[in-house]
Amino acid sequence: MAQGFLDGLLMAARPFWQGPMILFFHGVDTAITDSRVQMLHMPRDQFVRFMTSLRRRHRVIGVDELAACLESGTSPPRNAVVLTFDDGYVNNLTVVAPIMQSLGLPWSVYISTRHVEESPRFPSYIARAALYYTERAEASLPGFSEKISLRTPGERDRAYGEVSVLLKTESLAGVEKLCLELQALMPADRWQELNHRFSSDQVMNWEQVRQLKEAGALIGAHCHDHAILHQAQGEDEVRRQVTLSQSLIARQVGECRHFVFPNGKPSDICPAALDAVRQAGFRTGMTTVPGFITPSAAPLLLPRFSFQTMREMRYGCLRQRLSWVAGRRPAASPVEG
């Protein structure tokens, strides 16, 4: 039944499949025990079924092949799909790599080099774990004029939403300050326990990144501190994030010519960030703006679809069909913009 669902998903998307596309993922794990905290990770069974379906219907190409097409002005095959993974979680090596090897699929993984070097958890994980698991009924956090109430699950959801906005718009120093306060909401032994339970959010070290490359994944850059490259970071910091991540990967793993902008919305990519990626000689830069790859696509601002967006496409298509049946004007395509 689930296989039928996934085939259906691909079939439903087909009339609106306008060309080659890049998909992005974060992690895949066998044990998802709390999808609020582990929201970036897909259950393994679901991922295997999705990749198997995808392989039957599409030509999965590597990012180098995509870059070569864009550079020579030729279109990638209409049914081409590029598979990308952001952040560099350990499960990319332990869970995803064996699946990709057995299916013979090319893929690429974009790592945040300070996280590889020092293995801290990402700020968004710290926020989710702290706000969903602290025993406190309220919290005082930098950037908030009043105490945040955490008395009900709904209040905790809202608190995570508000903290998440701050994490995406503050400078690196602001994010670090906020993370320290979030960490202070629970004692160290509770953090240890949760980090063990949510091992899905553990990032690879250099040895594991090298093993991942040997297992066939292409390694790309995703900044040094996973900094979101908006205006508030300052131009020098933005350039440092891009060049330092590239040079560390080059030293530890080998040449690095592909980049993914953290968070990847238009407001997360200031002009200096785009310029730094161009000057560093990256062949591709990828965003999280949904869209297909057209022959005129800008190689350093490539659109990507998330798996969740594909699911929304399916429901969007269904809505569109129902509106035709009901004799109403069809809704706009859910993948526009």
CB nearer to Zn ion: give 15 or 266.
266
Kindly state the number of chain residues that form the binding site for Zn ion, as judged by CB under 5 A.
3
Based on the shown chain and the rule CB under 5 A, indicate whether residue 87 belongs to the binding site for Zn ion.
Answer: yes
Q: Which is nearer to Zn ion, 27 or 62 (CB)?
A: 27
| Residue 125: alpha-carbon gap to chain centroid | 13
Residue 29 vs 86, nearer CB to Zn ion: 86
CB of 220 within 8 A of CB of 110?
A: yes
- Give the closest residue to 269 by CA, choosing from 228, 239, 300, 233: 228
27 touching Zn ion, by CB under 5 A: no
CB of 86 to Zn ion, least distance (A): 4
Cβ distance to Zn ion smaller for residue 213 or 225? 225
Long-range contacts of the stretch 193-200 (C-beta < 8 A, 24+): 194/37, 194/129, 194/133, 195/121, 195/129, 197/33, 198/34, 198/37, 198/38, 198/125, 198/129, 199/90, 200/27, 200/29, 200/31, 200/32, 200/38, 200/40, 200/41, 200/89, 200/91
Site string for Zn ion, 256-285 (x = CB under 5 A): ------x-----------------------
86 binds Zn ion (CB under 5 A): yes
Of the pair 171, 306, the CB lying nearest Zn ion is at 306
How far apart are the C-alpha atoms of 241 and 230, rounded to whole Å?
A: 12
Q: Which range of residues in 8-16, 40-48, 51-59, 84-92 is near Zn ion by CB under 5 A? A: 84-92
Q: Which stretch binds Zn ion (CB under 5 A): 85-93, 142-150, 199-207, 251-259?
A: 85-93
Residues near Zn ion (CB under 5 A)? 86-87, 262
